[in-house]
Amino acid sequence: MALNHLSLLRPLLHPSLVRHVRCPLLASPRVIVRPPLCLGTSQQPAAACTRLYATKKSKAKAKGQSAKVNINSALVEDIISLGEVKEDMSAVLGALKDDFTRSLSIRTSPGALDHIVVTTQDGKFPLNQLGQISMKSPQLIMVNMSSFPEATAAATRALRESSMNLNPEVDGTIIKVVVPKVTREHRENLAKLAKQLSNKAKDSLRRVRTNAVTQVKKAKEGHSEDTIRLLEKQIQQMSDNFAADIDKQLAAKTKELLG
């Protein structure tokens, strides 16, 4: 009926006006996207709605936080001593630090030979317990074996077979150790040795973790699955932390050696 009235008025209307009038009637229906409905009260109008999207950074942070486990050691003492596990892992890291100090030093000092172990008929002894070590010059270290002359040959052999690239000379009960110059090749070899020592430390760390997890799994009977699973995560978390410390020690030592 509206169209009939429009046809009667057509002569009186401007053509452009007719088009504006007809468009709403003839246009195809449109899909209206409404914003999310926010509820408010008559006293307190609803605030503007904002959709929050989690960023990759926030997701990673949330994931890291949710992965952390911190179990009260006293509650699981009947399963495993987490304190002892931590001590064993800490011992691995401590041994690596000692190896780095003893075997990878590029500074010459009498203490550089202290770690060398001499095998004798009476057992194994550190070199500094058998001989008096002193420096005659930055390139020459003297080992006086007069207190245990019978161990002179064994001490000489231990010095030659060490990883320090030494070629000792014997003069009676005096062992002369010429310290080689620190070349770039020597530094690179020490850096490779540092990598090997850190890998061995990680192997030892994995053995500590595996033994601990095995002990936990043996206690499944009489304990909830959640407790066992959380304990395994706790041990893995401890192992990961110490592995990260090993990597830091390696990076620092490599930087020291290569400059």
Residue % of the chain over a pLDDT of 70 = 69
Higher pLDDT among residues 8 and 115, named by residue: 115
pLDDT tens string 170-225: 999 999 998 877 778 878 888 999 999 999 999 999 999 999 999 998 887 778 88
Amino acid residing at 253: K
What does residue 164 show for φ and ψ, rounded to 5 degrees?
A: -95, 5
pTM, to two decimals: 0.58
Instruction: Say how many C-beta atoms besides its own lie within 10 A of residue 51's C-beta.
Output: 6
Give the CA-trace dihedral at 70, 71, 73, 75, to 10 degrees: 160
**Residues 6+ away with beta carbon under 8 Å from 27:** none
Segment 93-108 shows an average pLDDT of 81
pLDDT at 187: 84
Q: Which long-range CB contacts under 8 A does 245-253 form with residues at least 24 apart? A: 245/93, 246/93, 246/96, 246/198, 246/201, 246/202, 246/205, 247/198, 249/93, 249/96, 249/97, 249/100, 249/198, 250/194, 250/195, 250/198, 253/100, 253/104, 253/191, 253/194
8 Å CB contact between 96 and 198: yes
CA angle 6–7–11, rounded 5-degree value: 100
Q: Provide the pLDDT for residue 236.
A: 95
Give the torsion sign (CA, 119, 123, 125, 130): negative
The answer on pLDDT for 15 being more than 60 is: no
C-alpha 186/C-alpha 258 separation (Å) is 10
Confidence of residue 109 (pLDDT cuts 50, 70, 90): low
Query: What is the mean predicted confidence (pLDDT) over 121-141?
Result: 89
pLDDT, tens digit, 9 for 90 and up, residues 145-170: 999 999 999 999 999 888 677 889 99
> Is residue 53's pLDDT more than 50?
no
Instruction: Please report, for residues 3, 5, 29, 30, 258, the alpha-carbon distance to residue 24 in angstroms, rounded to integers and kept in the order given.
Output: 12, 16, 9, 11, 80
Residue 29 confidence (pLDDT)? 47
Q: Name the residue with higher pLDDT: 47 or 79.
A: 79
